[in-house]
Structure formats: C-alpha cells, structure tokens
C-alpha cells in the first residue's frame, strides 16, 4: 500500500523501532530561542552532557526582543536575563546564535526557511508550537517542550509515537482578495480548535498547489490552532525555486540528488489517510475572528454571532464568554467593529509578501485617526528587503509605525502590548484572552484586511476602500 508524505518522512528518520516502544526519530534541524531553552541547557550542565550535533542546531532571539531602540540595554530585567542566558548558553555549548542586531536575527520560524535550512523531507523541531510553519516545505516539523529540547540537544533524537494523518483538500481558485490566512481561518472554523488533535495535516489540492511558499507557510503555521501536531505540503517546483541559491540549500551535485529525493516524497496515489476534509476554495471570503480562540471566526461580511445559535452547550458558553471579553454584541455587523490598533507581523504573516500586500493597500492613503498601526517584519532580512523596495516609506507615509524585527505584538512578552480594553486587528495567530497584553482584544485577520482596517478604522477588506479618502498630493 502507498504511503503519505508524512509517513515517508517519518520512516526515513526512524533510528530505532521496537515493539511496545515509541519510535526513536532522528532530528535534522533543531531551532532554539530564549524562552524554552534555558532549563534544557541547565539540564545538560547538571548531567555533564554536551550538545550532540551543534552543526544541526541554531538559535535566534525573538520573543523578548524590543522592536524600538534595539541598541539600548533591554529595560525589562526578566527579558534581559532570558536573552543573556541564551547568549551564555550558546557560547558555552558552541551553538550558532543570531542575536538582536545581527542581520540574520528574527522570528525563529522566519529565519529557518529564509536561510534555506528548512528543506523537504527533513525533521525540524523547536521549543515553540508554531514550528508547524516549516511543514510548508514538506518537512515534518513539531513543536516540543523543554525536557524534549534537552533530549534533542543531548541525543539529536526524540522518542515519538507515530501520528495519524489527515488530508485537507482545497480545490478550486481563491477569489480575488482572499488569502492563505482566510483559508486557514476557514479550515480552523470548520474542523474546530481540537479537530486536528493527534494528526499530521497534509494540505493538498489545486488551491494549495497555486500558493506561494510564503502563503504555504501561513497555512502550515496555524495547523497548531486546529490542534494538529504538524501540517505539511508536498514539495514541488514552487518549493525548489524558493530554496535554490539560499545559503544552506544544497549546491551542485548535491542539489540534483536532493531534488531527485524531494520528488519522491509526495503522497502515493493509493495511500490512505486516517481522516479527510474537503474545502471549496471558490466559496471562501475574507475571514476574521470575533472570539477568543482561533476557531471562533466568520466571514467578514457576517454579523457577530448570537451565542444562542450554537447547539453545543459548551460552544454556547464559550461564545457568551468570548463576546463579554471582546466587548461585542450579537448581531453587530463585523464590518462595524471599530479598532484601536492594527498589527502586521509575526511568524504567520511577517514575511516580505505579507508586507507587500499590506503596503499595496495603504499606499497613497492615511490610516484612520486614533488608530495605531505597527508593522513588524518577521526578520532583519525581511526588513532589509522591504526597505529596499521602499515599503517602510509607504507605511510611515500612511501614518504607521515601522519597527525592528521580532515577535512584537504577537504575544505580551516584550514592550509591544495592547492596553486593557484595546481592540486590535492582528495578522498573528492567537486571539486568546490577554495574548497581546492584559485585557487586549484581538481579531485575527489577513495582512490585506489588517491594512484596510487601519485605513477605515473598522474591520474592512481592501474592496471596501473605493470610497476611502485618498491622500491629496500637494
């Protein structure tokens, strides 16, 4: 019987298989950042162990880093200690680190792919749930906990139980103005935040094939919000074209051997998935979340739902609580929801294509009075590329703030936070209570919707902009 993409990559990494035991998997790439690694390094030190494969390990600073005044000492003592600890650990154990101020610094899931380290058919782990991002290349990529980080550092392997597989087939063509973010939000709304539990998702179908690498990363990134262990997309010409020439991509004869191998990874025609979901791309529209988990989303053209309309009592209660926290009234058109802030960035939508999309919307326009818009590139490389294309000027001319690379307002761990009660249209991935700052209210959206929302001051798509005030040139 044929095998799926996930099964092929899994099988190629089994170091040891024994009856009644989890498989021992070899890890090709281990990504580190400052938050989940300190106790792992400490564990190594206590047991007098080394990092087995420093040449398969790389670290970057992202969660705690400020996006302003990066040449000044970090003000928050807890953040400073975490960063200093990572620096000391990497120096002591010989791990390559890209610190704040370095040209390769950035959000860990943006840095790995842009260096060409994330490749088809590899296993990638990181002490961070959004490691699923790397699955866009046909890599098997898992988020892991601190004790597992230590395990990988010491052994370059991980004992793991074989996951089940789920096919998410998206056929058709995404309508104009509908993006990968809308697609994945619709998938999560359909299967629920627990729908992917225990599964590796494989996104397939014509709509997925036509996505760029950036867009594929957006989709795989949020697999975790559907509860899945990982998300994957079979590598194809788009993948190869993205990788070719990157720093760590194979060169010469190695490139040919690699491509030949990568081409064997696609799911066999007679392979069987443990579960299947079908989605019609033609029916998708811009999507926004109205609640406090990523599954509480609806088309932008819809109204805030009435909790009473949920049959499941748990969902009804969750919806009631969400509306209270979000300060929303059932029946309000989502387009009438006014925002205080807009955040464009994160490992979901902080890549160059996302910045281009947002810039195209705000170009020649002003963002609405009273709205604060933060644009945060996912990495320094993305920032440099954007500056090269003049995107930073487009944003600042429109009244937005152009910041330094990092996780920024995706989570309340650095100075970029919402004030209590503030409402934000955000291109990030989590809308949990307090995620962007205590009491902050988050609506997850695509970069295009975020930009249109910034211009109009309420949730909106670029299509709503025709009657928006145009900047009059002097």
CB of 10 to another protein, least distance (A): 14
3-state class percentages of the chain: helix first, strand second, coil last, to nearest 5:
40, 20, 45
Name the nearest CA neighbour of 344 among 352, 353, 354. 354
CB of 125 to another protein, least distance (A): 14
Sheet holding 96-98, edge to edge: 96-98, 57-60, 29-32, 123-126, 140-143
List the alpha helices (DSSP H) in 399-446: none
Residue from 7, 62, 353, 416 touching ligand SF4 (CB under 6 A): that is: 62
The pair of structure tokens assigned to 100 is 């704040």
Sheet holding 423-426, edge to edge: 401-402, 372-375, 341-344, 423-426, 441-444
Q: What is the spatial distance between Cα 41 and Cα 34, in angstroms, rounded to a whole number?
A: 11
Question: 399 touches which of another protein, ligand SF4, none (CB within 5 to 8 A by kind)?
Answer: none
Any contact of residue 250 with another protein (CB under 8 A)? yes
Between 122 and 161, how does the x/- string for binding to another protein read (CB under 8 A)?
x------------------------x--xx--xxxx-x--
Any contact of residue 347 with ligand SF4 (CB under 6 A)? yes
20: CB partners within 8 A, 6+ apart: none
Sign of the dihedral through C-alpha 459, 465, 471, 472:
negative
Binding part of the chain for another protein, among 80-88, 165-173, 197-205, 420-428 by CB under 8 A, reads: 80-88
Q: What is the spatial distance between Cα 202 and Cα 216, in angstroms, rounded to a whole number?
A: 11
Provide Rg for the chain, Cα atoms.
22
Question: 150 touches which of ligand SF4, another protein, none (CB within 5 to 8 A by kind)?
Answer: another protein
Residue from 3, 42, 356, 415 touching another protein (CB under 8 A): that is: 42
Residue from 129, 162, 192, 249 touching another protein (CB under 8 A): that is: 249
Chain-centre distance of CA 181, in angstroms?
Answer: 10
CB of 164 to ligand SF4, least distance (A): 25
Footprint of ligand SF4 on 381-410 (CB under 6 A): 407, 410
Residue from 2, 16, 103, 264 touching another protein (CB under 8 A): that is: 16
Binding residues for another protein, rule: CB under 8 A, are: 15-16, 24, 26, 28-29, 38-39, 42-43, 46-47, 49, 52, 54-58, 78, 81-82, 85, 96, 116-117, 119, 122, 147, 150-151, 154-157, 159, 247-250, 254-255, 257-258, 261
């Amino acid at each position: 019987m044929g095998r799926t993409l996930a099964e092929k990559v899994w099988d190629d990494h089994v170091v040891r298989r024994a009856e009644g035991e989890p498989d021992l998997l070899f890890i090709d790439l281990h990504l580190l950042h400052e938050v989940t690694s300190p106790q792992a390094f400490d564990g190594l030190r206590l047991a007098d162990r080394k990092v087995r494969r420093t040449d398969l390990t790389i670290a970057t600073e992202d969660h705690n880093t400020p996006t302003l005044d990066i040449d000044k000492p970090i003000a928050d003592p807890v953040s400073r200690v975490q960063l200093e600890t990572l620096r000391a650990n990497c120096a002591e154990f010989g791990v390559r680190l890209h610190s704040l101020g370095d040209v390769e610094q950035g959000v860990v899931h943006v840095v790995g792919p842009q260096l060409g380290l994330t490749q088809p058919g590899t296993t990638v782990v990181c002490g961070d749930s959004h490691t699923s991002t790397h699955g866009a290349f046909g890599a098997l990529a898992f988020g892991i906990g601190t004790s597992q980080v230590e395990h990988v550092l010491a052994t370059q392997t991980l004992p793991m139980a074989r996951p089940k597989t789920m096919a998410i087939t998206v056929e058709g063509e995404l309508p104009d103005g509908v993006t990968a973010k809308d697609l994945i939000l619709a998938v999560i709304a359909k299967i629920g935040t627990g729908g992917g539990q225990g599964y590796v998702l494989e996104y397939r179908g014509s709509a997925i094939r036509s996505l760029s690498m950036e867009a594929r990363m957006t989709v795989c990134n949020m697999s975790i919000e559907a509860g899945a262990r990982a998300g994957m997309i079979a590598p194809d010409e788009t993948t190869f074209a993205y990788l070719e020439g990157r720093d760590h991509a194979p060169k010469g004869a190695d490139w040919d051997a690699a491509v030949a191998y990568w081409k064997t990874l696609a799911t066999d025609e007679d392979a069987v998935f443990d579960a299947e979901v079908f989605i019609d791309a033609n029916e998708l529209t811009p999507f926004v979340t109205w609640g406090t988990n990523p599954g509480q989303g609806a088309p932008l053209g819809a109204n805030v739902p009435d909790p009473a309309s949920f049959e499941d009592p748990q969902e009804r209660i969750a919806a009631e609580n969400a509306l209270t926290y979000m300060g929303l009234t059932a029946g309000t058109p989502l387009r009438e929801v006014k925002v205080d802030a807009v955040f464009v960035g994160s490992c979901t939508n902080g890549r160059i294509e996302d910045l281009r999309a947002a810039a195209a919307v705000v170009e020649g326009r002003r963002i609405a009075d009273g709205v604060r818009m933060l644009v945060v590139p996912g990495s320094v490389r993305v920032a440099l590329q954007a500056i090269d294309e003049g995107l930073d000027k487009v944003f600042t001319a429109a009244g937005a703030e152009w910041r330094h690379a990092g996780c920024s307002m995706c989570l309340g761990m650095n100075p970029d936070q919402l004030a209590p009660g503030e409402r934000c249209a955000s291109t990030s991935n989590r809308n949990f209570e307090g995620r962007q700052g205590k009491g902050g209210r988050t609506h997850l959206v695509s970069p295009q919707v975020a930009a249109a929302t910034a211009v109009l001051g309420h949730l909106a798509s670029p299509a709503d902009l025709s009657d928006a005030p145009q900047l009059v040139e002097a």
